[in-house]
């Protein structure tokens, strides 16, 4: 894979706000966010990080999520804090 550098002049305030947006959405840098968007675009995928547009899960998905939450709450007391990695691995 060959790498090229893309330089895009922009207002510092815009760059700073965009960098903050990328960070709030889990990206470690604005560059990684731009690479993510570019790759999705050339692959024909649409990327939308606006949480308000995600909607609600289907009834089936909600049932799976609720069942997983109930199981996690029930199972959380079955294993304890572990004194060593070996103890943790034995519990798995």
Token pair for residue 28? 């470690």
Give the model confidence (pLDDT) of 42-56 as tens digits: 999 988 777 665 577
Enumerate the domain spans of the chain.
Answer: 9-51
The single-letter DSSP state of residue 78 is T
Give the model confidence (pLDDT) of 16-68 as tens digits: 999 998 998 889 999 999 999 999 999 999 887 776 655 777 889 889 999 98
Please classify residue 36 by burial: count the beta carbons closer than 10 Å to its beta carbon, then call 0-12 exposed, 13-18 middle and 19+ buried.
middle
pLDDT at residue number 53:
56
Single pTM value for the model? 0.52
């Amino acid at each position: 894979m060959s790498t090229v550098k893309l330089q895009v002049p922009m207002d510092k305030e815009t760059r700073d706000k965009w960098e903050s947006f990328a960070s709030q959405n889990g990206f470690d840098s604005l560059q990684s966010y731009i690479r993510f968007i570019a790759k999705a675009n050339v692959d024909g995928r649409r990327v939308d990080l606006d949480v308000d547009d995600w909607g609600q899960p289907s009834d089936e998905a909600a049932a799976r999520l609720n069942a997983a939450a109930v199981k996690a709450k029930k199972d959380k007391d079955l294993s304890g804090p572990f004194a060593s990695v070996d103890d943790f691995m034995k519990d798995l």
